[in-house]
Structure formats: structure tokens, C-alpha cells
Amino acid sequence: MIGHWLNRELEVWRPQSVPDGHGGETTTDIRQPDPVRAKVDQPTPAERLVAAQTTSRHSHNVYLLPTADVRRGDELRDSGTGQRWRVLSVAEPSSSRYRKAETELTQGEGETSG
């Protein structure tokens, strides 16, 4: 298990669409009740190369417990630092010891790089 490496607690925000009453939809991010334990890493040089070659927006790897309810399109937020990551994809290795989310750091206006 990788639980001892997961040194952050992140909130999970999931987009939810509701009809706007005029034939369209309004989408709002809804905070999920349970935060997830996570480890946030920079991607490896090889992953950066692949991302550059494919014009991917992948900026960070987020490692999670195999039971973490995190999906593509979710936003992970660290309330302590204010950092936010949009989940681009979630994969599980064959051993199912952890889940890996490829994410993009969303930087707020006026923030330094993180």
C-alpha cells in the first residue's frame, strides 16, 4: 500500500450540469463529501517529452489510493495552499496498489508558478 506516501489531503470538486430552463445547461463544480489523500509529483522527463510532442496540458502526477473516487474532469483542490489541478485522466496499474491521475495545475491570476 502507498498510504504512507500520501502526504496531502485534497478536496474533490466535480462538475454537475442542470437545465437552465431555457433549453441549455448551467454547469457548477460541486464539492464531494470526502476528501482524498494524495501525493502530487512533477511528471518525469519522459512524460514531459511525450506531453510536448502531443501538445498535452499534463503538468503534474497525482497518486491516490485505489479506492479514491476521482474522475476525469474533476478538480482537486488543496485548501491549505490554494492550488488546484484539473484531472485530465485517471489510470490504475495492473497491481492496483494505487491510482494515478494526470492533471493540469490551474494557476490563479497573479500567482507564482507552483
Q: Identify whether 73 is part of a domain.
A: yes
> Does the residue 15 lie in any domain?
no
Assess if residue 74 is contained within a domain.
yes
Count how many Cα atoms sit within 13 Å of the Cα of residue 56 in the half-sphere of its side chain: 20
Residue 113 has what pLDDT? 55
Domain coverage including residue 85: 3-10+28-106
For the whole model, what pTM was predicted? Answer: 0.80
pLDDT at 33 over 80: yes
* Residue 109 pLDDT grade (very low, low, confident, very high; cuts 50, 70, 90): low
Could you tell me the CATH number of the domain that includes residue 46?
2.40.10.270
Residue 113 resides in a domain? no
User: Could you tell me the end-to-end alpha-carbon distance of the chain, in angstroms, rounded to an integer?
Assistant: 28
H or E element, residue 8: strand 8-19
More confident residue, 103 or 4: 103
Please tell me the distance from the alpha carbon of residue 96 to that of residue 102, in angstroms, as a whole number: 16
Q: What's the number of domains the chain is made of?
A: 1
Q: Is residue 47 part of a domain?
A: yes
User: Per the domain annotation, does 111 fall within a domain?
Assistant: no
Cβ-based neighbours of 17, under 8 Å, separated by 6 or more: 25, 26, 27
